[in-house]
């Protein structure tokens, strides 16, 4: 039986993190489609999804054999590093120290590069393949990492799948880069979510459970989000 206090943040983390990655992959696939037509773009994207599916099919049974405690410690540490990286970047962007990511600029520069390199269909498909494979690798890691406890892989996969459907649905409807997605806000929230999960998984892996059980995940996520807000405020004030 899935505990929704744990499953809800898992679904949210997988959904939001996957949204960010899928938007980035979509921008490149769209650029390929604009330059060389939809066929190589779709072929490349589908081939990359097939490779990722094979990776998941191979990794899934192997991960199931690893003792949960050890897996949670390793995955928790990796999640901490990954989540804190996102949170740090988002805090620095909020504070105006790093430039915000702009999907429209990314789209136009990608289109310019593809036009200038005079790609044939095979090379265009390869560009789409590479984009989906690289961004998809991050999605696979996030899904496997936040679902690193028996029964949580399905909620994580549901979150990522929903993000995929939503982003692709909007993307196909608009046929334009998804510039209105608040990328930095999403990265900030996802950074907090992944950091919270990372701390929680590490403690479970070390055999030191939190008081309050799974409810601590929500408290930890809140703690890191509030800390991020305070830090960005402090750094912004110092910078001005």
Partner 1 sequence: MTNMLRELAATLLKMFVADFWLTATVLAVVGLCAVGRYAHILPPSVLPFALATGVLVALGLSVASAARR
- Point out which residues bind partner 1 (CB under 8 A): 73, 76-78, 80-82, 84-85, 87-89, 91-92, 95, 97, 126, 130, 133-134, 137-138, 141, 195, 198-199, 202-203, 206-211, 216, 220, 223-224, 227-228, 231-232, 235, 238-239
Phi-psi region at 152: left, alpha or beta (left = phi > 0; alpha = psi -120 to 50)? alpha
CB of 86 to partner 1, least distance (A): 8
For residues 154 and 234, which CB has a smaller minimum distance to partner 1 in the complex? 234
CB of 174 to partner 1, least distance (A): 27
d(CA 232, CA 33): 38
CB of 148 to partner 1, least distance (A): 15
For residues 171 and 198, which CB has a smaller minimum distance to partner 1 in the complex? 198
The answer for residues whose C-beta is within 8 angstroms of residue 20's C-beta and 6 or more apart is: 181, 183, 186, 187, 190
d(CA 77, CA 238): 31
CB of 141 to partner 1, least distance (A): 7
For residues 5 and 166, which CB has a smaller minimum distance to partner 1 in the complex? 5
CB of 36 to partner 1, least distance (A): 18
Residues 190 and 83 sit within 8 Å (Cβ to Cβ): yes
CB of 45 to partner 1, least distance (A): 15
For residues 154 and 226, which CB has a smaller minimum distance to partner 1 in the complex? 226
CB of 99 to partner 1, least distance (A): 13
For residues 123 and 166, which CB has a smaller minimum distance to partner 1 in the complex? 123
Place of tokens 């999640």: 79
For residues 156 and 220, which CB has a smaller minimum distance to partner 1 in the complex? 220
d(CA 97, CA 88): 11
In sign, the C-alpha dihedral spanning 221, 223, 228, 233 is positive
Phi-psi region at 176: left, alpha or beta (left = phi > 0; alpha = psi -120 to 50)? beta
For residues 2 and 50, which CB has a smaller minimum distance to partner 1 in the complex? 50
Nearest by Cα to 10 from 199, 187, 157: 157
The alpha helices in 152-214, defined as continuous H runs, are 153-174, 183-205
d(CA 166, CA 17): 13
């Amino acid at each position: 039986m899935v505990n929704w206090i744990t499953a809800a943040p898992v679904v949210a983390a997988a959904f939001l993190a996957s949204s960010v990655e899928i938007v980035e992959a979509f921008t490149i696939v769209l650029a390929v489609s604009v330059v060389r037509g939809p066929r190589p773009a779709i072929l490349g994207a589908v081939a990359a999804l097939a490779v990722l599916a094979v990776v998941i099919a191979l990794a899934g049974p192997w991960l199931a054999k690893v003792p949960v405690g050890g897996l949670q410690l390793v995955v928790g540490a990796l999640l901490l590093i990954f989540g804190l990286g996102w949170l740090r970047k988002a805090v620095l962007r909020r504070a105006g120290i790093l430039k915000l990511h702009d999907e429209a600029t990314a789209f136009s520069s990608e289109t310019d590069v593809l036009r200038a390199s005079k790609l044939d269909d095979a090379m265009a498909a390869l560009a789409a393949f590479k984009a989906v494979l690289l961004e998809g690798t991050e999605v696979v890691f996030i899904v496997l990492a936040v679902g690193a406890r028996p029964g949580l892989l399905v909620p994580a996969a549901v979150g990522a799948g929903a993000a995929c459907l939503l982003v692709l649905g909007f993307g196909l409807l608009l046929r334009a880069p998804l510039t209105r997605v608040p990328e930095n806000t999403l990265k900030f929230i996802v950074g907090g979510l992944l950091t919270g999960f990372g701390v929680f998984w590490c403690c479970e892996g070390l055999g030191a459970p939190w008081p309050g059980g799974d409810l601590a995940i929500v408290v930890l996520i809140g703690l890191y989000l509030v800390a991020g807000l305070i830090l960005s405020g402090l750094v912004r004030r110092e910078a001005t």
